[in-house]
Chain A
Amino acid sequence: MMADHCTDTRWIEQLDGVVADVFNIMLQQSCEVVEDPPAAAAEIDIAAKILLSGTIDAQCLVEFPQATAKKLTDALLGSQDDWDDALIEDAIGELCNMIAGGWKSKLRTAASTSGLSVPEISRARAPDRNPPHGCSLRMSRTYAFRNSPFTVSLAIREPIDI
């Protein structure tokens, strides 16, 4: 398990549940939490970031090595191919969108007054990984999809309820 700051298992289990739902429903495939991820898992080639702003301020960041991004794109498109960069980036952005939207929908705090941004895609590590000002609750989780790692990070401005 990898949690930068947050040790509240409710938050962590909620994020794990949202990520699992996305893979189970959209891809009919599992996605496992990587306990104590190796340093290699930190390799980042593509990142997508979505901001949630309004009553709730938060940031959802997904970071992928190229190999995992390729596997995810294969799975979403239902075939294997030499996808162009734009399509792979679209897939990563869409995954970020579904995770952020799924997480938002599970909050007890009135989330309808907060809006999601469109995904911001970047190559290599996201240039601005810093969450919005005041986001004191942070968590980062590494998962494995088809034995390849990727990371999902959430930063949230408290207080909100789950």
Chain B
Amino acid sequence: MRRILESALRHVNLDLAEVLHAANGVEGLAALEESATENQPLNLILCDVHMPVMNGLDFLLEKQRRNLAPGVPLLMITADATDPQVLQAVGAGAHGTISKPFTLERIKTCVESLLTPVAPAPSDMGDAQP
């Protein structure tokens, strides 16, 4: 899904400076750790609910426990709108959800709404997609 999603975002002309990929929650946490170590600011995290090894909800909870990428919006993506983990993720702090299949317009709207800077830090750049 990662490459498909990146392709969709580029197709709607979102200006992606850099995209970090992770195949599951564990790799996502490692990517966030590395970003923090390298002082590489992130703008957005897109996370599938269903992932092998560590799912999206557990990733979110562990990310918060470790205080990784605090304040970076997280959009949960799911093919199963009835999955209670989606609501749990929102309750746990996910900033939004999007169901698959999605239209290009829908993903663009969701991402742009989360990227709209309220008080942008001068050094903010880059995108992450665990």
List residues of chain A with CB under 8 Å of any chain B CB: 21-22, 25-26, 28, 76-79, 87, 90-91, 94, 97-98, 100-102, 104-105, 111-112, 115-116, 118
Contact = CB atoms under 8 A, between A and B. Distances in A.
Nearest to B24: A118
Contact of B50 (A76, A77, A91, A118): A118
Given A78-B7, A97-B1, 15 more contacts: A77-B7, A79-B7, A90-B1, A97-B50, A97-B100, A98-B79, A100-B80, A101-B78, A101-B79, A102-B79, A102-B101, A105-B82, A112-B84, A115-B83, A116-B80
Nearest to B2: A90
B13 interface: no
Contacts of A105: 80-82
B130 to A, nearest CB: 15
Residue among B8, B81, B100 with most chain A CB within 10 A:
B100
Interface of B: 1-4, 7-8, 11, 50-52, 78-84, 99-103
Given A22-B101, A25-B101, A76-B4, A97 B51 contact: no
B4 A90 contact: yes
Given A76-B4, A98-B79, A112-B83, A26 B102 contact: yes
